[in-house]
Copies of this chain bind each other. A is one copy, B any other.
Amino acid sequence: MTTLAIDIGGTKIAGAVCDANDSIIQRWRVPTPMDADAINQNIAEIYREAIASGHDDIEAIGISAAGNVGSDRRTLTFSANIPAWINYDLSEHVGALIDHAVPVIVENDANCAGWGEYVHGAGQGSRNMVALTVGTGLGGAIVVDGHLYRGSFGMAAELGHLPMVPDGDTCGCGLRGCAERYTSGSALEHFAKAAVRRRPQDAKRLLELCGGDVNKLEGPMVSQAAQEGDVLGLYAFGKIGEWLGRTMAAVSAVLDPDLFVIGGGVVAVGDILLDPARYNYARFLEGSAYRGHAKIVAATAGQDAGLIGAANLALH
């Protein structure tokens, strides 16, 4: 018995045949087309190749998609990336291309990654877990008593859009002050660029890394500088760490989890991000002195967390 997991990212579609323990047996990787139909074709093609490779025991396809997924686990209600994905039944479209040979389950990408951490990563053994994926934006996943919590309309755990600052930074969603404007890869760049502009005397290393043009400064350069001990790089991580902590304190006022698992590219810097996050979590947590605190740890399932989670969810 195997599952086909598909992860539709901004730049690539990853595919993986997983065994009954969600271990990856075979992989695919193709560039993501801009067009919804072409994406469906790519997925169907991966499925056919998997069958042709001998995986004729695929029982389900689990798709991780960057967009809002309805509670039916089939329909994209909205996506910032693919304009056609408004109330779009992705499950039906893909299913039609493979003669509905197996069920096609669709899940939000942050939910898949968070669930991957819960079943095979840092979240194992927790009771109520919140996963935060700090990528370009900020994604969330909630596990309650061992179940992925999707909400009544499939929109639970939209933690990147938790309102943190009234009249705050403009978000692509049209609101202001969303958490992901303060804690994400984009936010890291914003804080670092602002620091270069405000403190040119301290900006030598960051300017070297971006070839002298602050507009070309990108997240990985800030990570590198911070790991070298650069003061502005550390400042920028201190800020997104502060807001990560404040965001988790807000989430705890609602959910009171025992564990936060922090994933995504920028968490590679480890405690450079997690220390200010932990400090500010405690600083802004209600009743801090009189209650249990959630543990805050880095994700461990790696870049495959989304595929693993999609594979597991497709069968459960």
- A residues near B (Cβ < 8 Å) are 68, 77-78, 86-87, 127-128, 140, 142, 144, 149-159, 161-170, 172-178, 182, 190, 193-201, 246, 249-258, 284, 286-292, 294
How far, in whole Å, are A256 and B141 apart by their CA atoms in the complex?
Answer: 12
Report A17 CB to chain B, min CB distance, Å.
32
Report A280 CB to chain B, min CB distance, Å.
11
How far, in whole Å, are A303 and B274 apart by their CA atoms in the complex?
Answer: 45
Q: Name the one of B87, B140, B154, B256 contacting A152, with C-beta atoms under 8 angstroms.
A: B256
Is the beta-carbon distance between B155 and A291 smaller than 8 angstroms? yes
Report A291 CB to chain B, min CB distance, Å.
5
Complex: chain B residue closest to A167, CB-CB: B165
Given contact pairs A151-B257, A161-B287, A251-B254, enumerate 20 new A-B contacts (beta carbons under 8 Å): A78-B290, A151-B256, A153-B291, A155-B256, A155-B287, A157-B256, A158-B253, A159-B253, A159-B254, A162-B250, A165-B165, A165-B167, A166-B246, A172-B197, A174-B194, A174-B195, A175-B284, A200-B289, A201-B289, A250-B250
How far, in whole Å, are A55 and B195 apart by their CA atoms in the complex?
Answer: 49
Listed by A's residue number, 27 A-B pairs whose Cβ atoms lie within 8 Å are A68-B287, A68-B291, A78-B291, A127-B152, A128-B151, A128-B152, A151-B257, A152-B257, A155-B291, A158-B254, A163-B246, A163-B284, A165-B166, A165-B167, A166-B166, A167-B169, A169-B176, A174-B193, A174-B194, A174-B196, A174-B198, A175-B194, A175-B284, A175-B286, A198-B289, A199-B289, A250-B250
How far, in whole Å, are A250 and B255 apart by their CA atoms in the complex?
Answer: 13
Is the beta-carbon distance between A198 and B169 smaller than 8 angstroms? no
- Copies of the chain in the assembly: 4
Complex: chain B residue closest to A187, CB-CB: B170
List chain B residues, Cβ under 8 A from A196.
Answer: 174
Is the beta-carbon distance between B149 and A77 smaller than 8 angstroms? no
Q: Name the one of B152, B194, B198 contacting A258, with C-beta atoms under 8 angstroms.
A: B152
How far, in whole Å, are A50 and B3 apart by their CA atoms in the complex?
Answer: 60
